[in-house]
A and B are shown apart, each in its own frame.
Chain A
Amino acid sequence: MTRYSALSLIRQGFAGHTGWSRAWRDAAPQDHYDVVIVGGGGHGLATAYYLARNHGLTRVAVLEKGWLGGGNVGRNTTIVRSNYLLDANAAFYEHGLKLWEGLSRDLNFNVMLSPRGVLNLAHTDAQMESFARRGNAMRLNGIDADLVDLPSIRRLAPLLDTSAEARFPVVGGLIQRRAGTARHDAVAWGYARAADALGVDLIQGCEVTAIERDGTGAVTGVETTRGRIGCEKVGLCVAGHTTQLADMVDLRLPIESHVLQAMVTEPVKPCLDTVVTSGAAHCYISQTDKGELVFGGDLDGYPSYAQRGETALIEHVCAAAVALFPAFSRLRLMRTWGGIMDMTMDGSPIIDKTPVPGLYLNGGWCYGGFKATPASGWCFAHTIAHDHPHPLVEPFALDRFARGATLDEKGVGPTPVLH
């Protein structure tokens, strides 16, 4: 593997960029691995990397039915943050944000982390009160948070309609300045390249169709479209298809799959250098390095595995974006797409062992799994290697629902579309 550096870039510049080596091998499946990770999205690749880097496990394969990074890791709106109210979520996502801050160096791959701040808009005094509560909770957990008033918001986002006549009048906001965005493809590629360099086999076009078990019920391997692969342990990182994999071992989960859409406008000159979100308008907006404005909103609202959504939601999100930023009404929408989200019954993820010996579960990421990628891989690798949950993910146990210990940030109960 060529190490990426300013020097290698200059050298390749003179050589016409003909000397770059492949970023990772096109591995063929071997007969047996210590650990098989199902799913080559962000979480699967990060888990494989940390299994090798932190735990010295290198007889590891990542099996991906499509191509690496073709799932949600390449479809999200790239927001990275740790502005959570509940202690368990705050500790986990803050561990993640700290990993993000050193990730480009760690992976020797520029993930283009841009800590441009994530600004949540408040439109009512009651919302300001709840933001003050969340901001204080964050600060008590050692996470940066600032409550901001209207003049500060005008400086942060000059194009935002902050007039009293606005469709959604703004009264203030909460900002986490260390939060921001990262290049989603680079995260997948960076983890893939770094895992491969440590000996992990990345196997694409390889769908897992069954999980093989012995007489005691313990995992002994997987059936795939590229043949049987034996292994001691299987880790599931399949996002929207978690239920289908769990069905293979008759494990019922508190998960419903829904489609979440996003969209971008044509590129324009830099005009928005922070991420702006409005819960009331059901919309969040940022500008990419290429200049496109990215809009995201809510789920379409009913279970779907279609990986595309309906126009009514697109219209709703665009209407909200234009209400917040009237200047954007003149832009044309360039692309829309959708990804299948594994929505849990409390809006928080699951990282745990399962009742099946040798089978480990990572899923239920809802809207927010991209920012979790480093922390999820870190903690899931620990859970697999030690056959015991990492302390940071103990609250994300599968049996928390039976125990009544749900982690419901919004307090809306077991209605996935509302999380």
Chain B
Amino acid sequence: MMLIPCPWCGPRPRVEFSYGGPADRARPADDAPLEDWTRYVYERDNPKGAARELWRHGAGCRQWFVLERDTVTHAVAASHPLPGAEVAP
């Protein structure tokens, strides 16, 4: 099974985690034009290869974090705490 390195708990089995969408999506301002909101809510880069994604360690520390992963080989490159959560516990 794929091992995912939680920034807080270290490598843990994939089944403890869930995928939560692509990382780095900037939420538009409340009054941004409709096209910006459509892009944000519905459109996806859907990369084949290197990807940056949000994952959550639901069966562990329950933290969200960023996972760098390859969507073809499933190799995991790195994981990072979310900005603002950098302090180690």
Stretch binding the partner chain, chosen from A65-73, A300-308, A384-392: A300-308
Q: Binary interface profile of A, 353-387, with partner B (CB < 8 Å = 1, else 0)? A: 00000000000000000000000000000000000
CA gap between A252 and B55 in the complex, in Å: 23
Task: Check A303/B51 contact, CB under 8 A, given A253-B46, A256-B44, A401-B38.
Answer: yes
Nearest CB of A to B85, in Å: 21
CA gap between A322 and B80 in the complex, in Å: 40
Chain B 35-85 residues near chain A, CB threshold 8 A: 35, 38-39, 41-46, 48, 51, 53, 55, 71-74
Is A125 part of the binding interface, using a Cβ–Cβ cutoff of 8 Å?
no
A199: chain B residues within 8 A (beta carbon) = none
| Nearest CB in chain B to that of A302: its residue | B19
Task: Check A305/B2 contact, CB under 8 A, given A243-B48, A253-B44, A257-B46.
Answer: no
Nearest CB of A to B15, in Å: 5
Do the beta carbons of B42 and A401 come within 8 Å of each other?
A: yes
Chain A 288-331 residues near chain B, CB threshold 8 A: 301-306, 310-312
Partner of B71 from A303, A345, A417 at Cβ < 8 Å: A303
Task: Check A255/B44 contact, CB under 8 A, given A303-B51, A305-B71.
Answer: yes
Is A163 part of the binding interface, using a Cβ–Cβ cutoff of 8 Å?
no
A304: chain B residues within 8 A (beta carbon) = 71-72, 74
B43: chain A residues within 8 A (beta carbon) = 252-254, 401
B35: chain A residues within 8 A (beta carbon) = 402
Chain A 218-244 residues near chain B, CB threshold 8 A: 241, 243-244
Is B1 part of the binding interface, using a Cβ–Cβ cutoff of 8 Å?
yes
A301: chain B residues within 8 A (beta carbon) = 18-19
Interface residues on B, range: 20 to 34
| Nearest CB in chain B to that of A416: its residue | B44
Do the beta carbons of B48 and A414 come within 8 Å of each other?
A: no
A312: chain B residues within 8 A (beta carbon) = 1, 14-15
Is B34 part of the binding interface, using a Cβ–Cβ cutoff of 8 Å?
yes
Do the beta carbons of B72 and A414 come within 8 Å of each other?
A: no
Do the beta carbons of B42 and A254 come within 8 Å of each other?
A: yes
Task: Check A306/B73 contact, CB under 8 A, given A252-B39, A301-B18.
Answer: yes
Interface of A, helix, strand, loop or mixed by DSSP: mixed
Do the beta carbons of B44 and A254 come within 8 Å of each other?
A: yes
Do the beta carbons of B46 and A303 come within 8 Å of each other?
A: yes
Q: Binary interface profile of A, 398-419, with partner B (CB < 8 Å = 1, else 0)? A: 0001100000000000110100
Nearest CB of A to B1, in Å: 6
Do the beta carbons of A257 and B48 come within 8 Å of each other?
A: yes
CA gap between A301 and B18 in the complex, in Å: 7
Do the beta carbons of A303 and B15 come within 8 Å of each other?
A: no
Do the beta carbons of A255 and B38 come within 8 Å of each other?
A: no
B44: chain A residues within 8 A (beta carbon) = 243, 252-256, 345
Partner of A303 from B2, B19, B41 at Cβ < 8 Å: B19
CA gap between A113 and B81 in the complex, in Å: 52
Do the beta carbons of A305 and B14 come within 8 Å of each other?
A: no
A311: chain B residues within 8 A (beta carbon) = 1
Which of A257, A302, A305, A310 has the most chain B CB within a 10 Å cutoff? Answer: A302
Do the beta carbons of A306 and B1 come within 8 Å of each other?
A: no
CA gap between A255 and B45 in the complex, in Å: 8
Which of B18, B34, B44 has the most chain A CB within a 10 Å cutoff? Answer: B44
CA gap between A109 and B48 in the complex, in Å: 37
Do the beta carbons of A243 and B46 come within 8 Å of each other?
A: yes
Chain B 2-20 residues near chain A, CB threshold 8 A: 2, 14-15, 18-19
Could you list 26 examples of A-B contacts with CB < 8 Å? Answer: A243-B48, A244-B48, A252-B43, A253-B44, A255-B44, A255-B46, A256-B44, A256-B46, A257-B48, A303-B19, A303-B46, A303-B51, A304-B71, A305-B72, A306-B71, A306-B74, A310-B2, A401-B41, A401-B43, A402-B35, A402-B38, A402-B42, A414-B41, A414-B42, A415-B21, A417-B19
Query: What 9 A-B pairs come out closest when comparing CB atoms?
Result: A302-B19, A254-B42, A243-B46, A401-B42, A402-B38, A252-B43, A345-B42, A305-B72, A305-B48
- Additional A-B contacts beyond A253-B43, A312-B14 (4; CB < 8 A): A256-B46, A305-B71, A401-B41, A417-B19
